[in-house]
Amino acid sequence: MTPAMDLHQYRAPQGGYDEAFDAAGEARPCWSVAKQAVGSMETSALLERQRDADRLLDAEGAGHLVHELAFERAIDRHGVSASARVESRPWRLDPLPFVIDAAEFAVLSNAAIQRMRLLEALLVDCAGERQLVRDGVLPAALLYSLPSFRAHTAGFAPPRWLVHYAVDVVRAADGRWRIVHDLTDAPSGLGYSLLNRAVLARLLPDGLRAAGAAPISAHADRLRRSLTASAPADRPSPRAVVLSSGPAHPTYVEHSYLATRLGYHLVEGADLVMREGRLWLRALDGLEPIDVVYRRVEDALLDPLEHGHQGGGSGVPGIVWGARSGHLALANAYGSGLAEARELRPYMGAIAERLLGDRLQLEQLEAGAALATMPVFTGLGDRVLEPRAVVLRLQVLNGPDGHFVMLGGAGRVLADGDAPEWPTAHLAKDVWVVGTTAPRPVAVMAPPQVDFGPSVPKRAADALYWLGRSAERAEVAVRAARVVGVQLDQDPMLTSVGDGGWALGAGALLAAARNEPVPVTPELPLNARLTASLQATVSVAAQQLASLVQEASSVREYLSKTTGRVLGRLAMAHNLLLDDDAPSDELDSVLVDLAALAGLVMESTVRGPAWRFLDLGRRIERALAVLGSVEGALGADAPPMALQPLADAVLAANESLVAYRRRYRSDVDLDALLDLLLRDDSNPRGLAFQLDRLREHVAALAWSQGVQLVQQASAAAIAEIDDAVVSGRRVSLDGYVLAVRGPLLALADAIGQHWFADPVNPTMMGGF
């Protein structure tokens, strides 16, 4: 069968190597394995698999973790404006795997291990005797001119320079493999490889088994074992964390995924502090010791006290000193970025012969060299499968049992004009190694058991708290806008009811949902004022969705796996809500997703300190929203004609209209309304219910100040409602709202001051 007759007119380039077909047009064995695993190669089937891959990546969290927030003006604690857009840009996973024979992969593995040993020896020499410079193998002027060379680390001899190494390789048009790029500083790709395989394993489970592709999931266990083995020798139960620079980092998706997979805290610079000669985690209950840092932060951003630091005030002051002193282990060691400098590549051959007494097994790819191709699914045009070059990233660990190469990896597809070292296309391939026996099981070290359930970094607790508040704020704004919009759709004449009393009350309800005072715009007609208020409320909802996604991105490891899909949909909904002509049905979809998020938080999150802070935020915000809606819509005198639809709106905005009608089956009576929203502790949307939950949380946290503030709010709620002045059908609620709102706002302030300020005394946890 010729290439032109197969695979939707796929044509391999003439005169070069193609992974699918040889020069005679015959399918290569590995490509036959790939075709058999995928099954149908029809365009419709491939498109369906592509959509499934996109959906599964989104479910894994890529949809909301890969995003960009366009900051314009600071209007919330993160500076996110209502017009800022959250753009999800996850990579796409080609449903066609890159299949490679085990014998050929063994050649690449041996070359990668040789390369890792060479770079380790290079780092040892450059930080030590520098015999390469003395012998003239490496020019001194070149070495000292490299920005990644840390001359002040002379004499630094960590137990292991490289724990984790990655290398990019590509097949040239002559059929031979070449080295593209070494990654030694904070090598990425391991998490992406595991994530891609998890998706494709669900997409093609039978094909994966039939192909006999080597599993790669155990590589995360090998990484954990390697990190444990790198800890200082005097630590019987070493504690490790994954250090990230935060959601703005280009590979943050991987940071979050790896932290979850390894079971480590994902921390940022502000979470760590050097004190008393050790590294500590700023946790809720004090400082907790850290022994190993798996850093995803590059050398130049790691320690602001080090010469050559390029991150301003970012990083962890003193962490490099702690590693030099032997008090902690950095994986990889500080200064390892030197080994990936491009300027060293022309000397690698001579360096290998000098340090290893051996020749390099793979040569460096020359600039502009022609590359081999393979079929890549694009889903565009008539040529559904196009010939593209693919760069493979191999992952190597140096652990207690020696070097180990992951039997697979991630392939990055190059777009036209891409340099192999810097691909611009967001298209990846899962790499399958076939024809090999399964790797031996990983022997997991068993340190003394320690319960880290109570251990929560302050930054994570802070983010979870604001995640809860943002989610509730978004729901309040969306629900208020939806309720007022539906009432207007059903009766456009409502704006004139009660001499405009309904319109004024509805505007106050919307302003309360935005947590803003009612705007004074007498020059505008009531209709125009209400329309503007509706648009402003939807914009606030969009802003809160952006904040919600941002907070969730920094604490993904605390949320259930299913939460990723919901957050991805909320990120997309954010952009739709910013459009002036956003369909009203989109508000309903947002409410469904927010309800799904709340359900996942309640049913799929362990009831530990992390969950308590998330729910604290939700309960405080919901209590304030109930007070605001009642005060805004019902606090002022309203004509009797307008009072009934306003009361309906308040109940609906607090998701209590159905409960009211089921209980009373009559027109709304204000006494009954206030009882349901303010006094009934069985109504999950009512104030009393929120106060009960707040009381439980502060008691579980053993926080006496919080207990006092919640008691003040509860006492005020009981006393003031009995003193409320009821005259006919008009209620004055100013005193009640002020008396209850004050302690709640004080509680919100106290949470930040008490729990999220810096700790003072280090606290050793059991088992260390």
pLDDT of 71 reads 31
Task: Give one DSSP letter per residue of 564-630, joined into a string.
Answer: HHHHHHHHHHHHHHHSTT--HHHHHHHHHHHHHHHHHHHHSS-SSHHHHHHHHHHHHHHHHHHHHHH
- Enumerate residue ranges in the chain where pLDDT < 50: 1-6, 67-88, 724-731, 760, 766-768
Contact 420, 389 (CB under 8 A): yes
The strand ranges marked E within 35-138 are: 67-69, 86-88, 92-93, 98-101
For the CA atoms of 617, 623, 624, 630, the dihedral, rounded to the nearest 10 degrees, stands at 160
pLDDT of 335 reads 94
- β-pair type (292-295, 286-290): unpaired
- CB atoms < 10 A from the CB of 478, how many? 27
pLDDT tens digits for range 331-374: 999 999 999 999 999 999 999 999 999 999 999 999 999 999 99
How many whole angstroms from its chain centre is CA 501?
Answer: 46
Please enumerate in sequence order all residues whose Cβ is within 8 A of that of 531, keeping only pairs 6 or more positions apart, or say none.
none
Tell me the whole-structure pTM to 2 decimals.
0.87
Would you say the C-alpha torsion 204, 209, 212, 216 has a positive or negative sign?
positive
pLDDT of 571 reads 84
Joined tokens for residue 457: 């970094």
pLDDT of 425 reads 64
Give the residue from 276, 336, 327, 258 showing the smallest Cα distance to 302.
Answer: 336
pLDDT of 758 reads 62
Give the residue from 214, 191, 197 showing the smallest Cα distance to 53.
Answer: 197
How far apart (Å, rounded) are the C-alpha atoms in residues 253 and 66? 6
How far apart (Å, rounded) are the C-alpha atoms in residues 412 and 393? 8
How far apart (Å, rounded) are the C-alpha atoms in residues 188 and 423? 14
Return the domain boundaries, the chain.
Answer: 458-755
How far apart (Å, rounded) are the C-alpha atoms in residues 421 and 398? 24
Joined tokens for residue 534: 């509706």
